Structure 1
Amino acid sequence: MKPSLLTAAIAALAALPTFAALKPGDPAPAFEAQASKAGQAFGYSLQAELKKGPVVVYFYPSAFTNGCNLQAHSFAVAQEKFTAAGASIVGVSLDSIARLNDFSADPESCAGKIAVASDAEGRIARAYDLAVREAAPGRKDTRGAEIDHGFAERTTFIVGTDGRIAATVGGLAPAANVEQALAAVQTLARGAPRP
């Protein structure tokens, strides 16, 4: 390879986002948080949900932003397929519980079908080895409201009932993220070996 091509290849790789999230087989950090479903706040516990079956824990940057609205809606539309595979879903972001009450009930987003948890300090995201960055001043959401919180990188974890990461899905567009998460849950339900 010519030196200029090698330099260009290295530069291209360096420009790619880092993906240091927890990997399959790693223990999933347990967490409790304020969450909302269908506009109603409640206390969410990952440990309690794992007693019922696998849990899809999906981190997203912010409620009421284009990609996150699409991802939440895609999870809501596919919710019955996740349930059929024995899994529940919880979204996690740095949004306040007040924003999540609106987001969880919004028919264009969660549509009252999936729970979303508030990680206002970013502790849960960091426990899952996800990058958390500050919001740019003046950034607005799709409703025109200012976004006054940080952002976690978009990554989805399928947590098995053993409390370990069964699959990690990251670096994909929102709808593809949901499709891959569903495929991983269905594979887990069939008892097939994980990649």
Structure 2
Amino acid sequence: MSHLKTKKNAGLIKTSILAAAFTVCSFNLHAALPVNSAAPSFNADASLAGKSFAFSLDKALKKGPVVLYFFPVAFSSGCTLEAHAFAEASDAFNAKGATVFGITSGNVEKIKEFSEQECRNKFAVIADPGAKIAKRYDSLMTTKDNKVLSNRTSYVIAPDHKILLAYTDANPEKHIEKTMEAVTQWHKNKK
């Protein structure tokens, strides 16, 4: 009986590994812009607390560093988790002089609602229809059905447009930690 359980467990493990490999291979990821390179300027429609406004990266950087995080689709489970975590950390980012902005190419017609409900009115969400900004930031993802979306990539951009951090990971959990480390380091160096 023990031999059968071991064989069954080995089969389950093999199936799990294959499923994980298929999931990873079911879309193509593109690399992020390198650290120390210049972040491209852009203007786009955005929403904060359900209110629309015209976003300008140049204008935002005049206030301090920008945490710009790309996410695939508004209201998906991973993107909602990430929005909640960034909302909880927004005050800590603001205390260090940084401002958080989310940006998505998926469900752009819902960014007003997303900025209220999931971002909890703490930070703005930028619409990127057609993933044009994501392309300039080398933050694209092609799904298995050939849909092009913004990849889950976080940047910390200094006021001089220098990229301090570029972090890509499909798992949303580490993005807040990594961006906070970069902002904290920038804040310490500024003093």
TM-score in terms of structure 2 length: 0.80
Aligned 1:101-116 pairs, distance under 5 A: 101-106=112-117, 109-116=118-125
> How many residue pairs end up in the alignment?
167
Q: Distance in 2 between matches of 1:41 and 1:136?
A: 31
**1:100 positional shift:** 0.2
* Residue 35 (structure 1) aligns with: 46
Provide closer, same or farther for how the CA distance between residues 47 and 127 of structure 1 changes in structure 2, counting only shifts above 3 A.
same
Is the radius of gyration larger for structure 1 or structure 2? 2
**1:183 positional shift:** 1.2
Alignment gaps of 5+ in structure 1: 1-11, 138-148
* Residue 133 (structure 2) aligns with: 124
More helix by share: 2
More strand by share: 2
SS of the aligned residue for 1:60 comes to strand
Q: Distance in 2 between matches of 1:47 and 1:98?
A: 24
Provide closer, same or farther for how the CA distance between residues 172 and 180 of structure 1 changes in structure 2, counting only shifts above 3 A.
farther
**1:97 positional shift:** 4.6
Q: Percent identity over the alignment?
A: 35
Q: Distance in 1 between matches of 2:99 and 2:144?
A: 29
Q: Distance in 2 between matches of 1:39 and 1:132?
A: 27
**1:71 positional shift:** 0.4
**1:96 positional shift:** 5.0
SS of the aligned residue for 1:78 comes to helix
Task: Specify the code of the residue in structure 2 equivalent to 1:72.
Answer: A
TM-score in terms of structure 1 length: 0.78
* Residue 81 (structure 1) aligns with: 92
SS of the aligned residue for 1:61 comes to strand
Alignment gaps of 5+ in structure 2: 1-20
* Residue 141 (structure 1) aligns with: none
Q: Distance in 2 between matches of 1:157 and 1:97?
A: 20
SS of the aligned residue for 2:73 comes to coil
Structure 1 residue 49 and structure 2 residue 60: aligned? yes
Q: Distance in 2 between matches of 1:52 and 1:188?
A: 14
* Residue 59 (structure 1) aligns with: 70
